[in-house]
Amino acid sequence: MAREFRTVGVVGLGTMGAGIVEVFARKGLQVIAVETDAEAVERGRSHLTTSTSRAVGRGKLSQEDADALLARITTTTSLADLADADLVIEAVPESLDLKAEVFAELDRVCRPEVILASNTSSLSVTELAVRTGRPGKVVGLHFFNPAPVQKLVEIVRTVVTEQDVADDVKAFAATLDKVPVVIGDRAGFIANALLFGYLNHAAKMYEQRYASREDLDAAMRYGCGYPMGPLALLDLIGLDTSYEILDTMYKQSRNQTHAPAPVLKQMITAGLLGRKSGRGFYTYAGPHSSEVV
Give the active site residue among 192, 200, 242, 277.
192
Residue 109 or 190: the one with the smaller Cβ distance to ligand 3HC is 190
* 145 touches ligand 3HC by CB under 6 A: yes
User: Which residues fall within 8 angstroms of residue 289, CB to CB, at 6 or more apart?
Assistant: 275, 278
* 136 touches ligand 3HC by CB under 6 A: no
Least separation, in Å, of the C-beta of 237 and ligand 3HC? 5
Q: Restricting to residues 158-177, which ones interact with ligand 3HC according to CB under 6 A?
A: none
Which residue in 233, 267, 268, 273 binds ligand 3HC (CB under 6 A)?
Answer: 233
Site string for ligand 3HC, 235-274 (x = CB under 6 A): --x---x---------------------------------
Q: Long-range contact list for 97-100, CB < 8 A, 24+ apart?
A: 99/123, 99/128, 100/127, 100/128, 100/131
User: Which residues fall within 8 angstroms of residue 77, CB to CB, at 6 or more apart?
Assistant: 34, 35, 36, 37, 38, 41
Burial bucket for residue 228 (CB in 10 Å: 0-12, 13-18, 19+)? middle
Residue 145 or 257: the one with the smaller Cβ distance to ligand 3HC is 145
Q: Are 254 and 240 in contact (CB under 8 A)?
A: no
Which residue in 42, 46, 53, 60 binds ligand 3HC (CB under 6 A)?
Answer: 60
Determine if the peptide bond prior to 146 is cis (ω within 30°): yes
Total number of residues that touch ligand 3HC (CB under 6 A) = 19
**3-class SS at 226?**
coil
Which DSSP state fits 143? Answer: E
Q: Which residues bind ligand 3HC (CB under 6 A)?
A: 19, 51, 54, 58, 60, 121, 144-146, 148-150, 192, 195, 227-228, 233, 237, 241
Which positions are catalytic? Answer: 121, 142, 154, 192
